[in-house]
Amino acid sequence: MGKKDEDYDEDSEDDDLEEDQSEEEQYDESDSDTKKSTKRKAGTKKKLPPKKRANTGKVAKNTEPISFSFKNPEYLKKKSKNKKRMHKNLKQIITQENYQDLPPTVPTYINIEAPPSMYPPKKYCDITGLHSKYTAPNGIRYHSSVVYPIVTSLNEYRVQDYLGLRKSTTNIK
């Protein structure tokens, strides 16, 4: 993974969608950057295996950097580098606003979120983007038997990349 230039981000999806990674998000954005670039760098070999990500995730809960620094030295470097980043991200700001103390009838950033759809989600073939009726044992959805050999030939990281597109990496363990 190439080093980031100061605190510039790759303009990836850090603020596109809230992901449920409560532990990891305790950190400043740097951590979600790490996670992102590991998960997202599609088609590059320079990526950390997902296991490493799980490590940093656990670490976040303990918030005692020194005791685990050996697990992922890159991580500490990043963290200290990102000290330069003075500003808080939106999530941290929202937390500080203590909206939970307001009566639920008061509209806030949190409770204006659009509720879920009433309609079932569409299903696409992860490989081709076409409609899909089938799901392989590794979690990949596919369009037809023509694609199936590709589906079964994918290694674990590749599978994670594909599932990451629809943020369902946590579904399979």
The contact set with another protein (CB under 8 A) reads: 2, 4-5, 7-13, 15-18, 40-44, 86-90, 93-94, 96-97, 105, 107-109, 112-119, 121-122, 124, 127-131, 161-162, 164-168
* Cβ proximity to another protein, 3 vs 70, nearer residue: 3
* Cβ proximity to another protein, 61 vs 167, nearer residue: 167
In terms of Cβ atoms closer than 10 Å to its own Cβ (0-12, 13-18, 19+), residue 142 is buried
Name the token pair of 165: 């597109």
Name the helix (H) or strand (E) containing 134.
strand 134-135
Q: How far is the CB of 49 from another protein (least distance, A)?
A: 18
Cβ count within 10 A of residue 101:
7
* Cβ proximity to another protein, 66 vs 118, nearer residue: 118
* Cβ proximity to another protein, 17 vs 66, nearer residue: 17
- Angle, alpha carbons 152-157-158 (nearest 5°): 50
Q: How far is the CB of 8 from another protein (least distance, A)?
A: 4
Q: How far is the CB of 114 from another protein (least distance, A)?
A: 4
* Cβ proximity to another protein, 7 vs 74, nearer residue: 7
Under 8 Å between Cβ of 60 and 46: no
62 vs 71: CA distance, rounded Å? 14
Q: How far is the CB of 29 from another protein (least distance, A)?
A: 9
Name the helix (H) or strand (E) containing 150.
helix 148-153
**Which among 82, 81, 94, 72 is positioned nearest to 18, based on CA atoms?**
94
Q: How far is the CB of 23 from another protein (least distance, A)?
A: 18
